[in-house]
Amino acid sequence: MRRLVLASSNPGKLREFRQILAPLGIEVVPQSELGIADAGEPHSTFIENALVKARHASRRSGLPAFADDSGICAAALAGEPGVRSARYADGGAGREDQDRRNNEKLVAALKNGKDRRAHYYCVIALVRHAGDPEPLIAEGRWQGEIIAAPRGTNGFGYDPYFFLPEIGRTAAELMPDEKNSISHRGQAMQRLVEMLRYAQYLSS
């Protein structure tokens, strides 16, 4: 398995996945390059949405595929935005505008002394073919808190507002290598790589 289709059109995710998998000699091909449209995300859990997207990309491409579903979960909001993180606020005109609206809504929801603890969550599903009965499933969690004003220019999504008390910086203030080593997506990818090696997928 040296070529994997990524079931996402998110350039930030593509950049992170390529950086993590390149040392293994795995080429990550975004589904958009193959003319595959994004699948719907109709479910209320991250894992179900990840599997739907991975199976869709594999079915359309005829190749092994993987997908992540990830989001930010605020303690004071009973886990919201959760699976709705990418579309938490309505009316975004493009990815950057959507990110800005999402962050504004989350910061507003946590005003007035509410608990600002939050965590990023990621689950990755990988299938060898669309009907794979044994998909590989890996997950990661990254603990932090939401701050009121953005800091940093790296990353994407909620990263400028996701503060890491133990290191005194936001996710957007981390260099890519540093972020990939500790983030929710980095944790999930590291676990997925371990699974790939154990299952000897990388030798095929």
Question: Which residues on adjacent β-strands are paired with residue 137?
Answer: 125
Tokens 């996710």, residue? Answer: 171
| 69: annotated active-site residue | yes
Catalytic residue from among 69, 97, 99, 115? 69
Rounded CA separation 67/77 (Å)? 26
Rounded-to-integer distance, Cα 195 and Cα 89, Å? 36
Q: Which amino acid is at 59?
A: R
Residue 192 CA to residue 187 CA, distance in Å, equals 9
DSSP β-ladder status, 27-30 and 117-127: unpaired
Active-site positions read: 69
